Amino acid sequence: MESLRSKKYKQEFVSTFPGDDSGNLTPRQTPGKLYSKAIPTPVEKVSLLAWSDELAEELGIQKPADQQELDILGGNLVTDTMYPYAACYAGHQFGSWAGQLGDGRAITLGEWETTAGKTYELQLKGAGPTAYSRRADGRAVLRSSVREYLMSEAMHYLGVPTTRALSLVATGEPVLRDMFYNGNAAYEPGAIVMRVAPSFLRFGNFEMLNARKETENLTNLVNWTIDRYYPHLQGEDRVLDWFKEIVERTARLMVEWQRVGFVHGVMNTDNMSVLGLTIDYGPYSFVDDYDPDFTPNTTDLPGRRYAFGKQPGIAYWNLGCLAAALLPLVAKDKLLPALESYKELYWQKYYQMMGNKLGLDKTTNEDTTLVTQFEETLATIKPDMTIFFQLLIDLPLCMENAEAVAEHFKDSLYNDLTPEQSEQLYSLITSYLQRLNRNTITRAASQALMRKTNPRFVLRNYLLHQAIEELERGDNTLFRKLQQAIKEPYSTKYDEFFQTRPEWASQKAGCSMLSCSS
Ligand code: AMP
Ligand code: MG
């Protein structure tokens, strides 16, 4: 184990690419640069709210033992071998080209190399302005920091590819936010998360270089990314192969989101990782009542572009933007089929995953009809997604009639079923039981498969909301409990949370809908 203070950090990104080393934090365009030096702006008092022991263990990082070490987590101390910088990237936001964006409040301190030779970027989110802060303050509030910290760890334990969070600290400073964008700005406690990932490179880093026609920088960044993160790609067509692998990883990520019912909320191309990780936790939500049109992001309400059911299609659209950015390096007639392969890859993985959710021995073409029947029925009945699939695991193999089926699933329902819905559900379950009958694996094996595919505990927004309110009052009871619960999402250990979203939370801001204000 090594300490954050005495570690010799690597600086490969900044020593490889042209950047603005002035340290100037005035918002500006930085053509020709891939990053700008950004020294964190010190805060009043750094105090530790959470530390991820398991992640620290994995990376070989010692838990801070004194205030000076804690200061690193809040940006108050930058050590000699760190080179703090904000990355410059661009992106498409809500379908439109947004030009240069960049890390407006994320600052990478350095690259941490483990004894096994793996490197990870250590990045502070909320550590003050950078050259890319535009009109904003570079800070983050406790509310959004708790959400990023807990959810990135929760996703990890769910088995979904994600960036991680090592620490959460309070800054002792208030931050002004207009949470509902309605002119009622108020002060909220400030906080900083230390995020960790092999790389935070996004589609937008590549889009920016293409938009600026900086082909040499683009070529170098692509080659560097492949050498470092995709070293197995060494053939003649390695850029094309790399794109294909991103397509594959992105398809896998989308299937994982659909599996656990995660809605990202802001799938702009600057929030798409080239490593296929879930990145940038903002106004996300798990699906409570199953609804493909559900979006948790108030800004997304007009078009519901980033709704639950649309995520896989949006990922394809975003991949199209990445492909366009690679046109100077790979011929269009090669990129296009690679992009198109997304659809088949996605559906194949999706049906396989759904077969696992349903406990099927294998997923045949015929089974896709059953999967569609599930989707349609759930979209009509809108039961709680998590609870419904849990109840499906223990479905009696003989269901007499529609009443018995409705009774079995009643704990997952938000509304009484109409007679038509009841019939639809009965018909679905009848088809499903017939299919289970043809399973070539034992019932126990089928249930075991379902238990490891369907989470039983998901970090619902209303739980986060309650934990945050408590924390703001100085009580960390629920926060601590959630920190534990996220580690065992497939067990019954935290069944105190095994219930539908309470009625009071269904319309309350922060529990069902969120804004981007963070
Ligand atoms: P997001 O929607 O969180 O992905 O953010 C989009 C862009 O806005 C990114 O360039 C962020 O760095 C920037 N941004 C968001 N919040 C802030 C903030 N408080 N200060 C500076 N930049 C921000
Ligand atoms: Mg972002």
Among 82, 163, 80, which Cα is nearest to 127's? 82
Domain boundaries, given as residue ranges, for the chain: 12-198, 204-355, 364-453, 461-506
The distance in angstroms from the start CA to the end CA of the chain is: 34
* Token code pair at residue 428: 């679905």
Among 27, 58, 159, 163, which Cα is nearest to 108's? 163
Identify the residues whose C-beta falls under 6 Å from ligand 1. Answer: 101-105, 132-133, 136-139, 266, 270-271, 280, 282, 516
* Token code pair at residue 37: 């030096």
280 alpha carbon – ligand 2 mean position (Å): 5
What is the DSSP secondary structure assignment for residue 265, as one 8-state letter? S
- Other C-beta atoms within 10 Å of 99: how many? 14
Cβ–Cβ under 8 Å, residues 124 and 194: yes
d(CA 161, CA 140): 24
The number of the ligand nearest the C-alpha atom of 101 reads 1
Among 51, 52, 140, 147, which Cα is nearest to 469's? 147
507 alpha carbon – ligand 2 mean position (Å): 26
The pLDDT tens digits for 279-304 are 999 999 999 999 999 999 999 999 99
Place of tokens 């949370």: 497
* Full pLDDT tens readout for the chain, 518 residues: 999 999 999 999 999 999 999 999 999 999 999 999 999 999 999 999 999 999 999 999 999 999 999 999 999 999 999 999 999 999 999 999 999 999 999 999 999 999 999 999 999 999 999 999 999 999 999 999 999 999 999 999 999 999 999 999 999 999 999 988 888 999 999 999 999 999 999 999 999 999 999 999 999 999 999 999 999 999 999 999 999 999 999 999 999 999 999 999 999 999 999 999 999 999 999 999 999 999 999 999 999 999 999 999 999 999 999 999 999 999 999 999 999 999 999 999 999 999 999 999 999 999 999 999 999 999 999 999 999 999 999 999 999 999 999 999 999 999 999 999 999 999 999 999 999 999 999 999 999 999 999 999 999 999 999 999 999 999 999 999 999 999 999 999 999 999 999 999 988 888 878 988 88
At residue 472, the pLDDT reads 93
Mutate to test the pocket of ligand 1, among 26, 29, 105, 177 (most ligand atoms within 8 A of CB): 105
d(CA 237, CA 232): 12
125 alpha carbon – ligand 1 mean position (Å): 10
At residue 181, the pLDDT reads 86
282 alpha carbon – ligand 2 mean position (Å): 8
What are 439-443's contacts with CB under 8 Å, separation 24+? 439/359, 439/360, 439/361, 440/361, 441/361, 443/397
158 alpha carbon – ligand 1 mean position (Å): 27
Q: Model-level pTM? A: 0.98
∠ CA 72-74-80, nearest 5°, is 30
Nearest CA to ligand 1 atom 11: 104
Cβ–Cβ under 8 Å, residues 264 and 257: yes
492 alpha carbon – ligand 1 mean position (Å): 38
Nearest CA to ligand 1 atom 7: 101
- 89, amino acid identity: Y
Cβ–Cβ under 8 Å, residues 123 and 195: yes
Nearest CA to ligand 1 atom 13: 104
Query: What atom in ligand 1 is closest to the CA of residue 516?
Result: 2
- Other C-beta atoms within 10 Å of 420: how many? 9
- Other C-beta atoms within 10 Å of 488: how many? 14
Taking all residues of the chain, what is their mean pLDDT, rounded to a whole number? Answer: 97
The number of the ligand nearest the C-alpha atom of 126 reads 1
At residue 415, the pLDDT reads 96
d(CA 360, CA 388): 17
Contacts of 347 (CB under 8 A, 6+ apart): none
d(CA 99, CA 318): 15
106 alpha carbon – ligand 2 mean position (Å): 9
270 alpha carbon – ligand 2 mean position (Å): 6
Nearest CA to ligand 1 atom 23: 104
Nearest CA to ligand 1 atom 12: 104
Give the CB-side neighbour count of residue 129, counting CA atoms within 13 A.
Answer: 13
Query: What atom in ligand 1 is closest to the CA of residue 270?
Result: 4
The pLDDT tens digits for 433-453 are 999 999 999 999 999 999 999
Mutate to test the pocket of ligand 1, among 29, 101, 515 (most ligand atoms within 8 A of CB): 101
Query: What atom in ligand 1 is closest to the CA of residue 103?
Result: 12
At residue 511, the pLDDT reads 87
At residue 467, the pLDDT reads 98
At residue 513, the pLDDT reads 85
d(CA 219, CA 462): 45
Query: What atom in ligand 1 is closest to the CA of residue 282?
Result: 3
d(CA 475, CA 278): 29
Alpha-carbon distances of 146 from 119, 120, 189, 349, rounded to whole Å = 25, 22, 11, 32
Cite the active site residues: 270
Cross-strand partners of 384: 289
